[in-house]
Amino acid sequence: MNRRVVGALVGAIGALVVAGSTFMTWFGGRQPDEIPLAQLIQGSNAGSTSDFWGSIAAALGIVGAVGLLGTLLRSRFLLALGWLVGAATVGLLWVMLTIGDHMTDDDPGGGVWLSIAGLAVLLIGLVVMGPRRDAVEAPLSVFDGDPPQ
């Protein structure tokens, strides 16, 4: 197995851990499907949501899907995009809850720590993958006579 395959598999594990964190409690003992996406950009408590696609659980699920697609295609861009979505979701939610004084005295919850660990594993997978080393060079037979100088 080469570096790209190992890095892609490690990245997929990280992306699946981030997606799996949606099944644990997050801030204030709430599930991610109870925290609206609007709370990522508003300092106030945006209430609760009953729609999966309007919650942060959708963003974390997208991280898992993009991570799996990036693994299948062995694409650093897709894995990095998944990492960026996950890091932005967790980071913005944490900042907005801190700004709006909605942080409870409790620990953030297992889901937050699990998603941060998954993001770290995803980042390790990106580093292990490394850049592509498939340099395409034209064979000398395409040039008539001497190659260009």
Q: What percent of the chain has pLDDT over 70?
A: 77
Given this model, what pLDDT does residue 101 score? Answer: 61
Given this model, what pLDDT does residue 82 score? Answer: 92
Given this model, what pLDDT does residue 141 score? Answer: 58
Question: Which residues, listed in sequence order, are joined to residue 36 by a DSSP beta bridge?
Answer: 55
Q: Give residue 145's pLDDT band: very low, low, confident or very high (50, 70, 90).
A: low
Q: Average pLDDT over the chain, rounded to whole?
A: 80
Using one digit for the tens of pLDDT, what is the confidence trace for 84-100? 999 998 888 888 777 76
Continuous segment of H or E residues that includes residue 114 = helix 110-129
Where do the structural domains in the chain lie, given as residue ranges?
A: 25-131
Look at the block and give the residue holding tokens 């709430």. Answer: 30
Whether the per-residue pLDDT at 140 is higher than 70: the answer is no
Whole-structure pTM value: 0.78
Using one digit for the tens of pLDDT, what is the confidence trace for 22-57? 888 887 777 888 778 777 776 555 565 667 777 888
Cβ-contact 67, 125 below 8 angstroms: no
Cβ-contact 80, 15 below 8 angstroms: no
